[in-house]
Structure 1
Amino acid sequence: MESVRDLDWDPARAAAFLERAAGLWRTFLEQLPTLPVARSWRPGEVRDAVAINVPEEPLAEVELFEHVRSVMFDHSVYPGHPRFMGYVTGAGTIPGAVADLLASALNQNLGGWRHSPAATEIELHLTKWFAARFGLPKTAGGMITSGGSMATFTSLKVARDRRAGWDVRQRGLREGARMVLYASTESHAVVRRAADMLGLGMDAVRPVAVDAAFRMRAGGLRDTIVADRLAGLQPFAVVATAGTTATGAIDPLPEIAGICREEGLWLHVDAAYGGAAVLADDLRPRLRGIEHADSIAFDPHKWMSTPHPGGCVLLRDLADAFDSFHLAASYTVEDRERTGGTFDFGSHGPQWSRAFTAFKIWLSLLAHGAGPYGRRISHEAALARRMGELVVQHEELELATPVSLSVCCFRYVPAGLAPDAAGREAYLDHLNERIMTEVQVDGRAYCSNALLRRRFFLRACIVNFRTEEPDVRALVDVVIEIGRRLDDEMRPAARGPAVAP
């Protein structure tokens, strides 16, 4: 039979292809600080740019890479830009990008140890290291996930199974009382999504009020649990947040852990954003109490800036994950006496097909070191506090709440706008929403938003290792400039009272 080798490139051709890609990457890195953070594309424009018919024969490499440049590099938002401060998106480490290439070259499937021995052991080693940093016991371990959504789902699946009181995996939810869990009104939407995916229903997530600093009220949590038990419901878990998306608030973890211990509830801590603070000497004490968690969701692709995707779930006892996910399959037979007994991630989580995502996190830590990581994270928190100072110092800006971690929420308030003007708050909501939209397409800086007590605020989150104080000042200046222009357009020329949009 004649060989068909069309897809099998020789090493020289592979290296030449890589060299072209590396050249494109280098040019991008050189130009990045001077590029617009984003542009004002329309979906149709990007769709048209992407459209290319898959050819019957291969494209010439020159044409191929020109298409990649014009589509991907010219039609993307750049989270690695020093002035990107939107959402909670890291810059993407250089070692992490290289690790992605090497991991793809090896093409390991981490569903089972026997076909990914080194990769499996690296992920086990990495997650054990993270667990130790959070103060979890030696029984702890975890898995690298696509992000906080899968980490939260995995954790709450284990929590449901451990706290149900019957074999919920086999018999489902119909055996007992309705199971409910608790999260603050500032918790991430992934908690409700996980409840939906687990068949509990989104209403099973019982909201707990927050205090003036947007932290869960521990007393309110206790009262809600008591009321639910009296109503015949079955509480099983509490989701505390270490670094809320909107403001970076950290729930009172020691108090919540005490309530969970007294009530026999599973404590899950959503530290997807704030968990990286454990690497910074000055911020680590703020996570006190996280060592009592039964599970933790943590996203290195956020404040550690490793390339997407790269989340992490940590469990106080990794064996609990096996009990929740293991299924015997005829095609995974193992002679454990001969192999010595191996660890299969496919038996500890929802996925059997798993990428070697851990490698980019591991290589980033090896290349940079935990110390420099911690110092940079501390510096980014200091930059956010500096932004808060700039906001307070300017008469046309208003700080929403004291800066927590590396998030600064504020809004533009036009000079001369009377505090008691008719429709003032509605006008400010509309004005600041317009400001955010204009900033995002302006290209000089980038922020997102937070809704706090139903009011619209601009939000800057600094998780970018290229951001420095001049970049922080630039965002503030751009907001003021655009705010003044829009206010002139939206209010009467005489700058009278605000009117609702």
Structure 2
Amino acid sequence: MAIVCQSIRPNLLLVNELLLTDEERDRAGARLVALLDSYERGLPEAEILPAPDRDALSSLLATPMPEHGVGVDGLFDAWESTILPNSTTVAHPRFLAYVLGPPNGIAPYAEAMAAAMNQNCNFWQLSPAASVVERSVLEWLASVVGFPSGARGILTGGGSLATLQALATALHDRVPDFHATGLQRDAAPLVVYTSVEAHRSVDKAAAVLGIGLDNVRHIATDPLHRMDVHALRAAVEEDRAAGLRPWYVVGTCGTVSTGSVDPLDEIADLCAAEDLWLHVDGAYGALFLLSEEMRGLMGGCARADSITLDPHKLLHAPLEAGCLLVRDGAKLRDAFAFDSSYLTVAEDPLMTDYMDYGLQLSRNFKAFKVWSALQAFGVSAFRDANARTLALARRLGDGIEATPGLTLLAPVTLTAVCFAVDGASDDEHRALLERLIAENVALLGPVVVAGRRGIRACVTNHRTSEADIGLVLHRLRQAVSRRPRRAAVAGEGPGGGTAATPEHNPV
């Protein structure tokens, strides 16, 4: 629907046209509290993936920006009539398609306060409290990983930017005079190693920084979908023999597809022996280190030269809040610090100038929402929430294994549960996903595991309950029970993939 443009505040032009009156502040506060409350209460019955109202969105696009504003009530009306109904309900307890959890309960209030303060977190004079808050958050995150006291880091817009900055830090550390000459030199090409299951941000960072995709090796994985260390060692030896320069390895602590965790200790041993920089992509999984039961699996994170984390995943901060930590903090600063007379302030041992630790100069106060949630709820609340999602994912995996007609495609290592309907075609899997969302049962996603297509649920939602998982399992069992019985096909492996009859068997 089009937004009606009318002026309701001409008297403010004599005061300040960009401020609210006392009455308008009261009205905005009341409507915001009511809207947040109704949104929260309505989540269980909300549509997970509402069909976009294309007429309303087209009207929004076609309506010019108003010369005179619609005022507080007009704006809130537009939010409620057009924006919210056409937004994916990420906070719904059965939003299970991606590694994306809903914000924690204090987040909207912390975000509002951060917007009011509008701190520019570049050098400490512009944001003294913010500088200390970010340092506090980063030091805590480093302690969770197991990094030494000399580690330093920075909060970023997400894992992709953190990966880019990690690669840039390693380039500066390992390539002489990198700031001056970059890669424009007569030298052996640098080679990056990661697994075939790695996040695409590794390739993107290598391409953007001039490493080149031809110099990125995607190492095969073992039967558990983890990087094969023997294959990694062979690739490094082969490249050295060819006159290339191996220098950077990316291990993954929680692959996006299956949640597998690379054998990080073995990879760290190899990197130490071969003098390779070890980066760990822990955007999905590393913060499961809060759970004591995961430390045996993930302890190798502490041996990395750098690691990426995503507080907007397992700490349930609202987007965006990624993080890069570097074991030797001096290397991070050396990579990004540049002198500018107009930005010089006196050094203070309590403060940090984050413009010297990353790409951005203008930076918002990302640390505030992370710090505020940790203060409000305590670390144990996040530990418990993460443990609950791990348990729910195992329950879903166990239920799928116990259901004739469904096959797990990978072990449930973290919270990703990958499975297939036995004998179902790609179209049938797609139809099942569409039916689940059409019935508002759950939003799941497609996946390909070892060449086989199937379905993936990822339980990273702190609102998800036993009842939600039970409903998903019940609906999946209904779907497979309605499929015609299929005769065994000679040579078909467990779980199958070849139809016994030519007829179409909808799920």
2:358 aligned with 1:361, yes or no? no
Alignment of 1:94-243 (within 5 A): 94-164=105-175, 166-175=176-185, 176-243=187-254
- 2:314 and 2:503 mapped to 1: Cα distance? 39
**Cα distance per residue 1:115-149 (max 9 Å; x no partner):** 00100110011101110111100001211111100
Amino acid at match of 1:449: P
Q: What do the CA deviations read for 1:4-33 (whole angstroms, capped 9, x no partner)?
A: 611133455334312211211111111111
2:339 to 318, 328, 332: 328
Aligned counterpart, 2:408: 399
Deviation sequence 1:319-346 (CA, Å, 0-9, x none):
211111111123212344xx67852111
TM-score by length of 1: 0.91
The alpha-carbon deviation at position 204 of structure 1 amounts to: 2.0
3-state SS of the aligned residue for 1:211?
Answer: coil
Q: 1:302 aligns with which of 313, 326, 330?
A: 313
Per-residue displacement from partner, 1:204-257 (whole Å, max 9, x unpaired)?
Answer: 221111001100011111110110111111111100000100011000010000
Inter-CA distance 4–63: structure 2 relative to 1 (3 Å threshold): closer
2:361 is matched with which residue?
A: 352
Contact 2:158 2:323 in 1 (8 A): yes
C-alpha change, 1:314 and 1:67, in structure 2 (3 Å) is: same
Query: Of residues 347, 367, 374 in structure 1, which corresponds to 2:383?
Result: 374
Closer/same/farther in 2, CA of residues 32 and 86 from structure 1, 3 Å limit: same
Structure 2 CA distance, aligned partners of 1:286 and 1:324?
Answer: 31
Partner of 2:395: 386
After superposition, the C-alpha distances for 1:190-210 in whole angstroms (9 at most, x for unaligned) are 000110111111222211110
Q: Distance in 2 between matches of 1:205 and 1:399?
A: 31
| Helix, strand or coil at the partner of 2:183 | helix
What residue is the counterpart of 1:423 in the other structure?
A: none
Q: 1:432 aligned to 2:442?
A: no
Segment drifting more, 440-449 vs 322-331 = 440-449
* Higher mean C-alpha deviation, range 428-437 or range 392-401: 428-437
Q: Does 1:459 align with 2:456?
A: yes
Distance 1:376 1:348 in 2: 31
Name the % identity: 34
Q: Give the C-alpha shift of residue 48 in structure 1.
A: 3.9
Shift of 1:449: 2.1
CA contact (8 A) 1:36 1:444 kept: no
**Partner of residue 448, structure 1:** 445
Task: Determine if contact 2:191/2:246 at 8 Å carries over to the other structure.
Answer: yes
Change (3 A) 1:199 1:278: same
Residue 8 to residue 219, structure 1, CA distance change in 2 (3 Å) = same
3-state SS in 2 of match to 1:74: helix
* Residue in structure 2 matched with residue 491 of structure 1 by the alignment: none
Taking the aligned partners of 1:106 and 1:18, their CA distance within structure 2 comes to 17
Secondary structure at the counterpart of residue 150 of structure 2: coil
Match of 1:424 in 2: none
**Residue 160 of structure 1 contacts residue 236 of structure 1 at CA under 8 Å; is this kept in 2?**
no
How far did residue 495 of structure 1 move?
A: 8.4
Distance 1:455 1:412 in 2: 11
Alignment partner of 2:45 out of 34, 47, 71: 34
- Deviation of the 1:369 alpha carbon: 1.0
Name stretches of at least 5 consecutive residues in structure 2 with no aligned partner: 1-12, 486-498
Q: 1:478 to 1:39 in 2, by over 3 A?
A: farther
In structure 2, C-alpha distance between the alignment counterparts of 1:210 and 1:287, rounded to whole Å:
17
Q: Is the 8 A contact 1:208 1:221 kept in 2?
A: yes
CA contact 1:432–1:483 (8 Å) conserved in 2: no
**3-state SS, counterpart of residue 173 of structure 1:** coil
1:496 aligns with 501
Q: Distance in 2 between matches of 1:286 and 1:125?
A: 27
Matching residue's letter, 2:501: G
Question: Could you say if the C-alpha distance between residues 479 and 332 of structure 1 is closer, same or farther in structure 2, counting changes exceeding 3 Å?
Answer: same
Map Cα deviations across residues 340-380 of structure 1 (whole Å, 9 max, x no partner). 78521111100001110111111111111111211221111
Within 5 Å, give how 1:401-416 maps onto structure 2. 401-413=410-422
**Which amino acid in the other structure matches residue 496 of structure 1?**
T
Range with greater deviation from structure 2 (195-204 or 246-255): 195-204
Is contact 1:39-1:443 (8 Å) kept? no
Pairs aligned (count): 480
Give me the CA root mean square deviation: 2.3
Structure-2-length-normalised TM-score: 0.90
Distance 1:11-1:62 versus aligned 2 partners, 3 A rule: closer
Separation in 1 of the partners of 2:411 and 2:30? 48
Of the structure 1 ranges 87-96 and 476-485, higher mean CA displacement relative to structure 2 is found in: 476-485
The one of 267, 272, 277 equivalent to 2:278 is 267
Call closer, same or farther: CA 1:293–1:487 in 2, change over 3 Å: farther
Offset, 1:258: 0.5
Separation in structure 2 between the aligned mates of residue 29 and residue 232 of structure 1, nearest angstrom: 59
